[in-house]
Amino acid sequence: MPQSLPDSENHKATLLGKIAQLRDFRPGSITTTSGRCGNPTCHCHRPGDTGHGPNFRLTYKAHGKTVTESFASLAARRKAEQEIEEYRKWQQLSRDFVEVNSTLCRLRPTAEAEATPQGKNRRKRSSRKLPAK
């Protein structure tokens, strides 16, 4: 991680460029499920049969609730995998961006001379106490 001000500013600009190049992304995980159906004559009810599956599903949080979606096709699953991979890149770039900004905040000089104007008299606070209620 760069520790000089110009290096940190260049690193921030590089990160912004990478963030701008991100493709579509979304959070979530792809998991598999397998199981047995409700038809008692189906092959999945035979002893030793593994059942139906694996069925791939996308799981993510929306408004505080877990949402699970099934994929209509292999292409839909691959598209979701790419979007989730891109989201992971976004997360890492976001962490790096916060880190470089924290470094910049520490490295930038303070502007104390600008904060308090010279030559102006400030009003003094009253030393008089407020009446009791």
pLDDT tens, 17-54?
Answer: 999 999 999 999 999 998 899 999 999 999 988 889 89
Q: Are 35 and 7 contacting, i.e. CB atoms less than 8 angstroms apart?
A: no
Spacing of C-alpha 93 from chain mean position: 9
Beta bridge partners of 62: 65
Asked if residue 64 is part of any domain, the answer here is: yes
Q: Is residue 96 part of a domain?
A: yes
Residue 132 domain flag = no
Residue 121 lies in a domain: no
- Residue environment code for 87-110, b if the CB has 16+ CB neighbours within 10 A, otherwise e: beebeebeebbeebeebeeeeeee
**Residue at 127 is within a domain:** no
Model pLDDT for residues 46-104, shown as the tens digit of each residue: 998 888 989 999 999 999 999 999 999 999 999 999 999 999 999 999 999 999 999 99
Domain that holds residue 100: 5-34+51-107
How many domains does the structure of the chain reveal?
A: 1
One-letter amino acid at 42 equals C
> Quick check: 87 and 24 in contact, CB under 8 A?
no
Q: Within a domain: residue 71?
A: yes
Q: Indicate the pTM of the whole model.
A: 0.71
